[in-house]
Amino acid sequence: MNPTPAASADSADLSFASLPLAPSTLANLEQLGYRQMTPIQAASLPPALAGKDLIAQAKTGSGKTAAFSLSLLARLNPRRFAVQALVLCPTRELADQVSQEIRRLARGADNIKVLTLCGGSQMRPQISSLEHGAHVVVGTPGRIMDHLQRESLDLSALDTLVLDEADRMLDMGFYDDIAFVAKACPKERQTLLFSATYPEGIASLSRAFLRDPQQITLTEQHEAGKIRQRFYEVVPEQRLAAVGQLLRHYRPVSTLAFCNTRQQCRDLLQVLRAEGFVALALHGEMEQRERDQVLIQFANRSCSVLVATDVAARGLDIDQLEAVINVDVTPDTEVHVHRIGRTGRVDQEGWAFSLVSGNQMARVRNIVTTLGQEVEWHALGELQDSSTARLLPPMVTLLILGGRKEKIRPGDVLGALTGEAGFAKEQIGKIKVTETATYVAVARNIGQDALRKLSAGTVKGRKVKVHLLSDRGG
Ligand code: ADP
Ligand code: MG
Whether the predicted pLDDT of 12 surpasses 70: no
Instruction: Please tell me the distance between residue 399's alpha carbon and the centre of ligand 2 in angstroms.
Output: 28
Question: Which distant-in-sequence residues (6+ apart) come within 8 Å of 233 by Cβ?
Answer: 356, 357, 358, 377, 379, 380
Does residue 264 line the site of ligand 1, with CB under 6 A? no
Of the candidates 458, 473, 272, the one whose C-alpha atom is nearest the C-alpha of residue 392 is: 473
In a shared domain, residues 135 and 199: yes
Task: Give the pLDDT of residue 472.
Answer: 56
Given 190, 217, 244, which residue is the final one in a domain? 217
Distance CA 207, CA 218 (A): 21
DSSP 299-366: HTT--SEEEE-TTTTTT---S---EEEESS--S-HHHHHHHHTTSS-TT--EEEEEEE-GGGHHHHHH
- Asked if residue 173 belongs to a domain, the reply is yes
Tell me the pLDDT band of 220, cut-offs 50, 70 and 90: low
In a shared domain, residues 39 and 85: yes
* Contact between residue 251 and residue 387 where contact means Cβ atoms under 8 Å apart: yes
Task: For residue range 76-125, list pLDDT tens digits in order.
Answer: 999 999 999 999 999 998 999 999 999 999 987 778 999 999 998 899 99
Lowest-confidence pick of 159-163, 278-282, 283-287, 455-459: 283-287
Mutate to test the pocket of ligand 1, among 65, 93, 197 (most ligand atoms within 8 A of CB): 65
Task: Give the pLDDT of residue 11.
Answer: 44
Q: Name 431's bridge partners.
A: 440
* Residue 414 burial (10 A CB sphere; 0-12, 13-18, 19+): middle
Taking the CA of 37 as reference, the closest ligand is: 1
Alpha carbon dihedral 85, 86, 92, 94, in 10-degree steps, equals -60
Q: Give the H or E element holding residue 448.
A: helix 447-456
- Asked if residue 250 belongs to a domain, the reply is yes
Given 382, 412, 446, which residue is the final one in a domain? 382
Whether the predicted pLDDT of 5 surpasses 50: no
Task: Give the pLDDT of residue 1.
Answer: 40
Does residue 62 line the site of ligand 1, with CB under 6 A? yes
- Asked if residue 338 belongs to a domain, the reply is yes
Alpha carbon dihedral 361, 365, 366, 368, in 10-degree steps, equals 140
In a shared domain, residues 402 and 426: yes
Distance CA 459, CA 411 (A): 10
Distance CA 426, CA 46 (A): 39
In a shared domain, residues 210 and 237: no
In a shared domain, residues 140 and 168: yes
Task: For residue range 378-413, list pLDDT tens digits in order.
Answer: 999 989 888 888 999 999 999 999 999 999 999 999
- Tell me which range, 166-170, 239-243, 342-346, is most confidently predicted by mean pLDDT: 239-243
Whether the predicted pLDDT of 474 surpasses 70: no
Instruction: Please tell me the distance between residue 333's alpha carbon and the centre of ligand 2 in angstroms.
Output: 21
Number of domains in the chain: 3
Task: Give the pLDDT of residue 3.
Answer: 41
Buried b (16+ CB within 10 A) or exposed e, 360-376: beebbebbeeeeeeeee
Does residue 63 line the site of ligand 1, with CB under 6 A? yes
Segment 172-182 mean pLDDT: 93
Does residue 232 line the site of ligand 1, with CB under 6 A? no
Of the candidates 314, 343, 315, the one whose C-alpha atom is nearest the C-alpha of residue 228 is: 343
Distance CA 289, CA 299 (A): 15
Q: Kindly report the pTM of this predicted structure.
A: 0.58
Task: Give the pLDDT of residue 139.
Answer: 97
- Asked if residue 88 belongs to a domain, the reply is yes
Mutate to test the pocket of ligand 1, among 35, 38, 98 (most ligand atoms within 8 A of CB): 38
* Contact between residue 298 and residue 471 where contact means Cβ atoms under 8 Å apart: no
Nearest Cα residue to atom 10 of ligand 1: 61
- 372 or 444, which is more confident? 444
In a shared domain, residues 160 and 296: no
In a shared domain, residues 207 and 277: no
Of the candidates 15, 113, 65, the one whose C-alpha atom is nearest the C-alpha of residue 319 is: 65
Given 189, 217, 245, which residue is the final one in a domain? 217
Task: Give the pLDDT of residue 316.
Answer: 74
Task: For residue range 112-165, list pLDDT tens digits in order.
Answer: 999 999 998 899 999 999 999 999 999 999 999 999 999 999 999 999 999 999
Does residue 319 line the site of ligand 1, with CB under 6 A? yes
Segment 409-425 mean pLDDT: 91
Segment 14-39 mean pLDDT: 93
Segment 4-17 mean pLDDT: 58
- Asked if residue 208 belongs to a domain, the reply is yes
Taking the CA of 299 as reference, the closest ligand is: 1
Give the mean pLDDT of the chain. 89
Gyration radius of the chain's alpha carbons: 23
**What CATH number has the domain bearing residue 255?**
3.40.50.300
In a shared domain, residues 244 and 371: yes
- Asked if residue 61 belongs to a domain, the reply is yes
In a shared domain, residues 45 and 89: yes
Task: For residue range 234-278, list pLDDT tens digits in order.
Answer: 999 999 999 999 999 999 999 999 998 889 999 999 999 999 999
The parent domain of residue 414 ranges over 395-468
Query: What atom in ligand 1 is closest to the CA of residue 36?
Result: 23
Instruction: Please tell me the distance between residue 447's alpha carbon and the centre of ligand 2 in angstroms.
Output: 33
Distance CA 425, CA 468 (A): 19
- Asked if residue 388 belongs to a domain, the reply is no
- Asked if residue 197 belongs to a domain, the reply is yes
In a shared domain, residues 244 and 195: no
**What CATH number has the domain bearing residue 426?**
3.30.70.330
Instruction: Please tell me the distance between residue 283's alpha carbon and the centre of ligand 2 in angstroms.
Output: 22
In a shared domain, residues 20 and 109: yes
Taking the CA of 58 as reference, the closest ligand is: 1
Q: Over pLDDT 90: what percentage of the chain?
A: 70
Whether the predicted pLDDT of 225 surpasses 80: no
In a shared domain, residues 311 and 407: no
